[in-house]
Structure 1
Amino acid sequence: MPAKTRHIGAMHVVTNRIRRGEKEYTATLLRRSYRQDGKVKKETLANLSHLPAEAIDAIRRVLAGESLMSADDAFEIERSLPAGHVNAALIMARRLGLAELLDPRSSRDRDLCMAMIVSRVISPGSKLSTVRSLGQSTLASELGVEGVDEDDLYAAMDWLYERQARIEDRLAKRHLNVGEMVLYDVSSSYFEGRACPLGKLGYSRDGQKNLPQIVYGLLCDKHGRPVSIEVFSGETHDDKTLPAQVRKVKDRFGLARVTVVTDRGMVTKANIETLTRTEGVSWITALKAPTIKKLVRDGIFQPSLFDQQNLGEITDVNEFPGERLIVCRNPLVGAQRARKRTLLLDATEQELAAIKTRVDKGTLLGSAQIGLAVGPALKRFHVKKHFDIHISDMEFTYQRKQEQIDTEAALDGFYILRTNHTAAEVPAGDVVRTYKNLEQAERAFRSLKGPDLQIRPIHHHLENRVRSHVLICMLAYYLTWHLKAAWKPLLFTDENRPENDDPVAKAVRSPEAETKARTKQTTDGGTAHSYQTLLSELATQTRNRTRLAGRTDTFEKLTQPTALQAQALKLTTNAPVVIK
């Protein structure tokens, strides 16, 4: 008999569902349909039920006439740019109305300044570095500033400098209320180059004694948000910067009443007189060490009275009429200073002993040569004042000034605050807490100078460019301050720092913050981050430009955020901000 002819018909995939009782069974079959003797016949060719769903889908699509290829063949990723950190910074900037702070009217200069501010937050560097880094993330395209060069940025900096006063006025209106305190402190940063008239040699806080520097004074609200920054030439003493800030607060910001909280470096007789004469201005500051020693010599301040207490008030109607002097004693700070003094004295004495051994052996002779050896040893640890030195051609002796050391040690841990607030206006404990709030300004300087914003070294030659650079850094810190506040749940930062009942005692952390530090995890079990590592994590979310195979058109798509990235963006979007 001839072999039976097998009819090849159209194949297709069918899924059958059969219910038996309460259970439902699914079978996916490969079948074909064909016509025989005028009738449509169906035949099952294979049971596909054991295959994964994607394989079944692929078979179904091939049978429908589609041409399948791998994802690598179908798509080509032309470029991938970091985007997550840019998105977070821009979300916060828009919620803060940062662009409107610069200027209510939209312009290319405003966009360029926003690019410099945000770039300073996510990738700080020089203006040449900024030009290059703008294209290394999605920032340039988000702000529409692709293809800019250094000259474009310099022109935008000039535009920004002209608006500094109005920007600061808007910030003051947002964050400074009548009767509130204003934090003021001073720092400095060094130059590379000697062409700028502002760059002068002065007291360097950067340890760069041989490089010119600028001095800048920062005004913050009581929470540490920056409101204003002013640049002075590098040789300017701290106290010379304060009068300008008082005028700014009263005349420009129009605050009828304000409390200026400032460091002891700003305390001079002339400045106190200026503050006292200015109507509506109160102040809180601290006494310098020589003044405290004079109070001890005059019998007005007796440290022994504070053996059993750490807070009290004294008066000196002759030197400080109309003022309150609030004495604070912190035993932990006192013990730390005592340990440090002992270490410095011991280290100096060890070097002096080595010099004495050389003199006694006759290998170092002559008063001039001995003096050349002794001088650096005394200066190295800054305790020269505590040693009596005798040098002759054949002899070298030294001894500690123990009585002087004991007198200084008696003041370890003590500091004295001064204010013209009455006790009814501000109790002693609140004066201490208010003064300690200067920590917020110091934190701002650490952020400005550290890896967050890198304000130094300064490379600009023109005065206005230097001032504009410092303003950009301040505005970048304004944005950074709000990002850090929003991301507290993800950072090692204490989210709910408790207020210590004892205002003089060392600040304590909440149990949650202690747990974070110990476990390196957040309260919800995630990994705790520093601000910098969180920015780096956000930067791993990229925006990809993809091209379809065989076509020229492209599309862009963000990668799916990780759980951490999604949480950070949610916190950024929902964080409370102050807008007036």
Structure 2
Amino acid sequence: MFIVEIPNRNSPPAILLREGWREGSKVHTRTLANLSHLAPEKIEALKAALKGGSVTGAVPIPESSLPHGHVLAVAGMMDKLGLPKLLFGKRHHMRELALALVAGRVIEPGSKLSLAQALAKGAEHHSLGEVLGLGELGKAIDPENPGSSQEKRAAGEFYAAMDWLLERQAKVEDALAKRHLSSGCTVLYDLSSSYFEGSTCPLAKYGYSRDHRKDRPQVQYGLLCNEDGIPVAIEVVEGNTGDPKTIPAQVARLKERFGLERVVVVGDRGMVTEARIREDIATVGYDWISALVHKSIQPLVAAKVITPSLFDERGLGEITHPDYPGERLIACFNPIRAEDQVRKREELLALTEKGLKKVADACRREKKPLQGVTEIGLKTGAALAKFRMAKFFSVRIHECGMSWQRKPELLAKDAAMDGIYVIRTSLPQEAMGAEQAVLTYKRLAKVERAFRTMKSVDLQVRPIYHRTEERVKAHLFICMLAYYVEWHLREAWAPLLYTDEEGSQRDTPVSPVQASESGRVKKKRAHTADGLPLQSFSGLMKSLATLCQNRIRLGEKGPLYTRATRPTPLQAKAFGLIGVAIP
């Protein structure tokens, strides 16, 4: 820092406190405070202090210190991605509140009330409010509820911002599609669910729970991503909606809203069904990649259409079948998966037999033996259902006992399918080879990664507490935008994270993903090439948070200025990778 005198024509010169920093070959300066009102002796004392001398009468007094680095990184990435402009073309209070909702979801996920409390003046958790210029929230008294706290009024402002943002969802998604999708591109689509607390939202229904919370209603949401896993659009539907029923809306969105003439839609086997292909995807001229469900593969194996001799050294074999006209079927065999299925089936059979043996022993015990066809049948049914292996057992029940045996013909039929799965596509061989089609289908793992990130401690999309359909949709749209920001942060910070920068590799299209040689060395070393410790994403965010924004006053009644702490080498590297300057 240094002090300069700026001539002011016929008025006394302006005395300014400034600081300078270098970015590459460029030197930047900015004014921290205007010291013109200070007495000359105080200015001289400050000059002496800045030069390393002693200070009399103007001792710098730290007034506050807020975690700042993680906020600066997230806000800087949002600016770099043009997110403020995507939401609204110029500065607007609702826009800044919406940006706070997105940034807050990355920085410190929680409820809208918790975000309002984190930004309350004098009790701030971080510098987000100051960086976004939010000012003091919740100042206006609510005439309908004059006794409400300022934090609750501030939370009300955030709810209003959610409503404002939801109205702009279509325009934002259109802009993201224009940025990340183009005619002829590959689009990944998958569906997930999150459980719901409460019963007032019409979207909350009981259905198949991917969260394993059958005791709670849920909402479902489909995520549309480009082939790199960058989210473009999200749609929220009722919790009991069948997966295939969400396809027509996505096809219409791609065709009518995004204006894409040619697209390759990649969807899960239970979603891209015959009916959806015939009635929705094919009718607009789109190609697709999916897979056959297990029960559709069984006839192909039984008819010897798929045999061990079909597969080449890559574990692939192309076939055609009259039941699938105009399609390419790419049969895949994964020996590692086959071994795992053999082991798992045998373990489940053994566990089921252990349960059946308990029932048989109960029938033979001396005291109060289990008797009666009904009672024995109930216990036997429970043992068979526990591990879902009933179809592999033949059971006989009589008044005083029961017996069982395995069904070898069904076990052999099931074993014949071990390690086999079938990819199906409308793309001709010249447009996409068999190997590339299989790898493209496996890109759905990128959408699954998005769901894991949204549901985990990173963004905490669940549980959902909002009471209205519009607020639930806005909440999930905010989470999608937060993941959009986090995706780009992770990509930029890959050298500092436990990320394999060369990308995961496979020996063949059907073999498991393996780390590259450089990735294995990086993980083992746990440091970057220049000696910085590797971090998880959440760990790096916590490290950045230790870079604080300090408010310092010169003397008891002197000027107030803001200065960030000096970054550590790790922090400096992180900001350099995302191209954000530390003021």
Query: TM-score of the superposition, structure 1-length normalised?
Result: 0.84
Give the corresponding residue for 2:27.
Answer: none
Q: Which deviates the most, 170-179 or 102-111?
A: 102-111
Give CA-to-partner distance per residue, 1:355-388, whole Å, 9 cap, x none.
2222122432222222333333222222222222
- Residue 115 of structure 1 corresponds to 100
Query: Which of 556, 563, 568 lines up with 1:557 in the alignment?
Result: 563
2:282 is the alignment partner of 1:293: no
Look up the equivalent residue of 1:332 and give its one-letter code: I
2:356 counterpart of 1:352: yes
Establish whether residue 137 from structure 1 lines up as the match of residue 122 from structure 2.
no
User: Relative to 1, partners in 2 of residues 1:522 and 1:550: Cα closer, same or farther, differing over 3 Å?
Assistant: same
- In structure 2, the partner of 1:45 is none
Q: Which residue in the other structure is 1:163 paired with?
A: 168
Which residue is equivalent to 2:187?
A: 182
**SS class of match (2:579):** helix
Which of 102, 106, 113 is equivalent to 1:128? 113
**CA gap 1:563/1:390 in 2 versus in 1, 3 angstroms:** same
Alpha-carbon distance, 1:555 to partner: 2.3
- Mean alpha-carbon deviation: is it higher for 554-563 or for 419-428? 554-563
Q: 2:249 aligns with which of 233, 244, 254?
A: 244
Once the two structures are overlaid, the 10-residue window that deviates more, 76-85 or 197-206, is 76-85
Matched residue, 2:420: 414
- Aligned partner of 2:336 among 321, 328, 332: 332
Measure, in 1, the Cα distance between the counterparts of 2:418 and 2:272.
Answer: 21
What is the Cα deviation at residue 331 of structure 1? 1.0
Q: Once the two structures are superposed, what CA deviation does each residue of 1:121-172 show, in whole Å capped at 9, x if it has no partner?
A: 1111111112122331100111122433111011111111111111100000
SS at match of 1:350: helix
Which deviations, in whole Å up to 9, do the C-alpha atoms of 1:486-545 show, x marking residues without a partner? 000000011012654622222222112101222322233321111111111111111122
Whole-angstrom distance in 2 between the partners of 1:110 and 1:307: 56
How far, CA to CA, are the matches of 2:266 and 2:457 in structure 1?
Answer: 27
Q: Counterpart of 1:263?
A: 268
Aligned 8 A contact 1:303 1:411 in 2: no
**1:255-310 C-alpha deviation (Å, 9 max, x unpaired):** 11110000001132210102453233000000000000122233332345438661
State whether residues 61 and 556 of structure 2, in contact with CA within 8 Å, keep that contact through their aligned partners in structure 1. Answer: no
Partner of 1:87: 72
The one-character-per-residue Cα deviations of 1:321-372 (angstroms, maximum 9, x if unpaired) are: 1100000111111212222222222222222222222212243222222233
Whole-Å separation in 2 of the counterparts to 1:249 and 1:75? 59
TM-superposition CA deviations, 1:100-123 (whole Å, max 9, x none): 111223211110000000000111
Aligned structure 1 segments of 4 or more residues deviating by more than 6 angstroms = none
Asked if the contact 2:57–2:555 (Cα under 8 Å) also holds between the matched residues in 1, the reply is no
Task: Report the AA paired with residue 449 of structure 1.
Answer: K
Question: Which of the residues 195, 212, 218 maps onto 1:213?
Answer: 218
Preserved contact between residue 336 and residue 419 of structure 2 (Cα < 8 Å): yes
- Other-structure match for 1:321: 325
Taking a change above 3 Å as real, the CA distance of residues 454 and 255 of structure 1, as seen in their structure-2 partners, is same
Q: Please give the residue correspondences for 1:170-569 in structure 2 after superposition, counting only pairs within 5 Å.
A: 170-275=175-280, 277-303=282-308, 305-306=310-311, 310-317=315-322, 319-362=323-366, 363-497=369-503, 499-500=505-506, 502-551=508-557, 553-569=559-575
Q: Secondary structure at the match of 1:425?
A: coil
| CA drift at 1:176 | 0.3
C-alpha distance in 1, partners of 2:113/2:404?
Answer: 56
Q: Which residue of structure 2 lines up, in the alignment, with residue 77 of structure 1?
A: 62
1:147 aligned to 2:136?
yes
Task: Compute the displacement of 1:61 (Å).
Answer: 6.0
**CA distance in 1: counterparts of 2:311 and 2:262, whole angstroms:** 34
CA contact (8 A) 1:111 1:143 kept: yes
Query: What's the offset of the Cα at 1:574?
Result: 7.5
Query: How high is the sequence identity, in percent, across the aligned residues?
Result: 46
Flag the 1:398–1:523 CA change in 2: closer, same or farther, 3 A: farther
Distance 1:543 1:383, change over 3 A: same
Please give the alpha-carbon distance, in whole angstroms, between the structure 2 residues aligned to 1:530 and 1:106: 34
Aligned to 2:85: 100
Counterpart CA distance in 1 for 2:468 and 2:558 is 47
Task: Quickly say closer, same or farther: Cα 1:501–1:337, change in 2 above 3 A.
Answer: closer
Per-residue CA deviation, residues 149-202 of structure 1 (Å, 9 max, x unaligned), is: 111011111111111111100000000011010000000111100000011111
Alpha-carbon distance between aligned partners in 2 of 1:407 and 1:509, rounded to the nearest angstrom? 35
Q: Distance in 2 between matches of 1:131 and 1:503?
A: 49
Residues matched between the structures, number: 510
Residue of structure 1 equivalent to 2:6: none
The two structures, once aligned, show a CA RMSD in angstroms of: 2.1
Alpha-carbon separation, structure 1, partners of 2:132 and 2:215:
40
CA distance in 1, matches of 2:81, 2:310: 51
Read off the aligned partner of 2:378 and give its amino acid letter: L
| Conservation of the 8 A alpha-carbon contact between 1:386 and 1:401 | yes
1:17 is aligned to none
